[in-house]
Amino acid sequence: MSNDATHYTQTVHTPTEVLNQEAYPPLVVKTYPGAPRHPLPWPPERSGHRLGKMLADLGGITRSQWLTPLDKLPFTDSFEAIPDSDPLQWLVTRRPTPSGGARYSAEWYVIAGPDSEVPTGVHYYDPARHALVMLRAGDYRHWVASRPAATVLVQTNVFWRLAAKYGEMYYRLVCLEAGIQVAQALVVGGDQNATARLCFPDVDVTELLGLDPKEEGVHAVIELVPPVPATYGGPSLAPYPLAAGAHSSVLAQSRPGPEPLPAALVEPPAEPAEVAEVAERIRLPHAEVDLLAGTRTRHAAMRGFNGETMSMTTLATILTGYGRQQPWDLPANPVELYCVIADVTGIRPGAYRYLPDEHQLELVAEGDPRQQLREAALAALPQQGARTANVWLLPVGDGEALEERFGARWYRVQQAAGGAALHRACLAAASIGVASRIQNDVLTHRLDTWFGLEGRKRSLLVAQFGTEHPAGLRPEFRLTW
Ligand SMILES: Cc1cc2nc3c(=O)[nH]c(=O)nc-3n(C[C@H](O)[C@H](O)[C@H](O)COP(=O)(O)O)c2cc1C
């Protein structure tokens, strides 16, 4: 068993003390003084510049809000947290993707070839100026691409931004946020045939970007192959399935999909005593999901939820996003998709596992979900969510199966898959006007016994879903659209 990551998961469940607080600069964007800059067209959504729009949709500074320190009360539960330096108000800039404590560890780099919409070279995406900063001239795609990509994006995370707030817990958050970034990239890069890799030669890519691997981790690579002009499609070949089968088996051999996980992860979970012999299954209504639409309005609910009952169709939409397959180098279902249901029409409260292929819920534990969550929630806001959210989603990773498949990379892959699943669910929810909030101040491991998890299976993170509390909506100024 690889040990540093295992020890880390067993030891770090909450933020740890930040010893050298004053050492951290307040900046959450990088600068490269003196390096040549290539401006991207503004506003991104009107320019027809696909790459510029994609970068804004990933890491751009796209939203601003005026908040007052009173907005902090649900997080701190105390007026003591109001800063003496600026007790009245402050401007908060936000991005399309969520980040723990709005610390925005994520960065994007662009490896452009001659067919990219920007000069060939290695660039840093500067979100403050919506510009590319050229770090190297020349075509370096062969160091990062696994297929004939016109452009490759590299996702990195600056460790200290999260360490400044969460101490040792920064690494957990960094890995989760990498998954969130990847999920967003696959949605907003859909028109460029985006695919993602989480397994790649990290050291080479780190060197190419000129990063210090102790300070900034390279977590994912996104390959873009924009379509060529359309041609005449021809009639359907569906009447000739035998010929199609013979042809497609050659294609499958030419680019094999990811190996399946070892059996431990795909076996059904052990049933706790109070669950009936044959686990109860609930068939969900079919739901269409538009994750791209969700990227326009997703935000973290500021004041929790109002406690209105959720319909089964709404739940089905959220779960469809949660379980949607991704074009990436991970096997199908790298995490299991647990959820806790408190108040959804037609579904008995309890803990369930969502089975995406069957689009069904399987009961894993009965009992009062609100009580279970109250005991696990650390801060006032998740406590409020324990009372008023309808559904909590908790992806579960099996450390043993993932380590067997990915070696030392298992932890990173597991967290990324969990973060990606939750983000897809948040986008699905946003697309139908349902509010959500990812919360790391819930001790999810306290729910694992209730779920009946065994071996090295652990729940990774929680997101709460419901109708937004009317006091939660803050006027928000869209900076780009
Ligand atoms: C990995 C992760 C952990 C988070 N943990 C918490 C949390 O513990 N408590 C909380 O109130 N919000 C949490 N959030 C939500 C962020 O505070 C929120 O995403 C951020 O303030 C940006 O706002 P936005 O999501 O509206 O864009 C978390 C978000 C992420 C991605």
Q: Check residues 420 and 272 and name the one with the higher pLDDT.
A: 420
Q: Which ranges in 255-379 belong to alpha helices (H)?
A: 263-266, 291-297, 312-322, 369-376
pLDDT at 267 (0 to 100): 56
Q: Check residues 72 and 157 and name the one with the higher pLDDT.
A: 157
pLDDT at 62 (0 to 100): 92
- Rounded to an integer, what distance in angstroms lies between the CA atom of residue 302 and that of residue 145? 40
Q: Does residue 98 have a pLDDT over 80?
A: yes
Amino acid (1-letter code) at residue 448: D
Q: Which fold, 17-60+95-224?
A: NADH Oxidase (3.40.109)
- Rounded to an integer, what distance in angstroms lies between the CA atom of residue 179 and that of residue 145? 19
Segment among 277-286, 379-388, 443-452 with least mean pLDDT: 277-286
pLDDT band at 296 (very low <50, low <70, confident <90, very high): very high
Task: Round the average pLDDT of the chain to a whole number and report it.
Answer: 92
- Ligand 1 within 6 A of CB of 299: yes
pLDDT at 79 (0 to 100): 76
Q: By the 8 A CB rule, do 328 and 463 touch?
A: no
Element (H, E) at 110: strand 106-112
Q: Does residue 481 have a pLDDT over 90?
A: no
Q: Does residue 291 have a pLDDT over 90?
A: yes
Mean pLDDT of 313-330: 97
Q: pTM for the full model?
A: 0.94
pLDDT band at 3 (very low <50, low <70, confident <90, very high): confident
Q: Check residues 422 and 472 and name the one with the higher pLDDT.
A: 422
- Rounded to an integer, what distance in angstroms lies between the CA atom of residue 464 and that of residue 469? 13
Q: How far is the CA of 99 from the centre of ligand 1 (A)?
A: 5
Half-sphere exposure of 145 (CA within 13 A, CB side): 19
Alpha-carbon 49 to chain mean position: 25
Q: By the 8 A CB rule, do 323 and 284 touch?
A: no
| pLDDT tens by residue, 351-365 | 999 999 999 999 999
The preferred substitution site among 436, 437, 460 for testing ligand 1, maximizing ligand atoms within 8 Å of CB, is 437
Q: How far is the CA of 358 from the centre of ligand 1 (A)?
A: 31
The number of the ligand 1 atom at minimal distance from the alpha carbon of 442 is 8
- Rounded to an integer, what distance in angstroms lies between the CA atom of residue 311 and that of residue 321? 16
| pLDDT tens by residue, 60-79 | 999 998 888 778 777 776 77
pLDDT band at 465 (very low <50, low <70, confident <90, very high): very high
Q: Does residue 84 have a pLDDT over 80?
A: no
Mean pLDDT of 412-421: 98
Q: Kindly report the CATH number that applies to the domain delimited by 274-477.
A: 3.40.109.10
Element (H, E) at 459: strand 457-459
Q: 10 Å Cβ neighbour count for 119?
A: 13
The preferred substitution site among 64, 161, 439, 444 for testing ligand 1, maximizing ligand atoms within 8 Å of CB, is 439
The number of the ligand 1 atom at minimal distance from the alpha carbon of 95 is 27
| pLDDT tens by residue, 379-392 | 888 999 999 999 99
Q: Check residues 263 and 468 and name the one with the higher pLDDT.
A: 468
**457 φ, ψ (degrees, to nearest 5):** -80, 135
Q: How far is the CA of 301 from the centre of ligand 1 (A)?
A: 9
pLDDT at 276 (0 to 100): 46
pLDDT band at 144 (very low <50, low <70, confident <90, very high): very high
Segment among 38-47, 210-219, 318-327 with least mean pLDDT: 38-47
Q: How far is the CA of 98 from the centre of ligand 1 (A)?
A: 6
Q: By the 8 A CB rule, do 289 and 259 touch?
A: no
- Ligand 1 within 6 A of CB of 169: no
pLDDT band at 324 (very low <50, low <70, confident <90, very high): very high
Residue nearest to atom 21 of ligand 1 (CA): 102
Q: Does residue 132 have a pLDDT over 80?
A: yes
The number of the ligand 1 atom at minimal distance from the alpha carbon of 99 is 31
The number of the ligand 1 atom at minimal distance from the alpha carbon of 180 is 31
Residue nearest to atom 12 of ligand 1 (CA): 439
Q: Does residue 275 have a pLDDT over 70?
A: no
The dihedral region occupied by 167, where left means phi > 0, alpha psi between -120 and 50, and beta the remainder, is left
pLDDT at 192 (0 to 100): 96
Judge whether 17-60+95-224 and 274-477 match in fold: yes
Domain boundaries, the chain: 17-60+95-224, 274-477
Q: By the 8 A CB rule, do 174 and 105 touch?
A: yes
Residue nearest to atom 17 of ligand 1 (CA): 101
Residue nearest to atom 31 of ligand 1 (CA): 99
Mean pLDDT of 390-396: 98
Q: Does residue 80 have a pLDDT over 80?
A: no
